[in-house]
Structure 1
Amino acid sequence: MPKLPEACTTMAEVREGVDALDRELVALLATRFGYMRAAADQADPRSGARRGTQSQRDRRCCGRSRGARAAG
């Protein structure tokens, strides 16, 4: 088990702590993506939850397309 950050006295200890934290973060993100895939599988097309293209998502989110934002 790595040391707490404030207890590290060498770069090797710091690296060990960072690596351990990175492994935990990747595992958590993998779990999160699993939930997002499950949500996509459960989405009812009639509910308004749509995947759409990036420009469609931009319009739903921001009220205009990416091109319109760039123009003005």
Structure 2
Amino acid sequence: MVLPGLAGALGGLVAVAGLLFLDVGSLGTLVLGPAGGLVPVGLLSAGFMITFGSAAIGASIMSLGTDPD
């Protein structure tokens, strides 16, 4: 479960980088502006990493084979 979790967390970081780089909804301007800093980027990244990592782990668990009877 470690590898899917790490892959999901990496996907979350890529999603945050994409949101900030593409400036979706002026999010990049707001977060990286003078009032922003490392705290908002860290919190956004942590939230996305937890969400994407959990989804990847859940998908990995659900794709396991069934128990033979």
TM-score normalised by the shorter chain: which range applies? 0.3 to 0.5
The TM-score with structure 1 as length reference comes to 0.41
Larger relative contact order, structure 1 or 2 (CA cutoff 8 Å, min sep 6): 2
- TM-score calculated relative to the size of structure 2: 0.42
Point out the structure with max Rg over C-alpha.
1
Higher helix share: 2
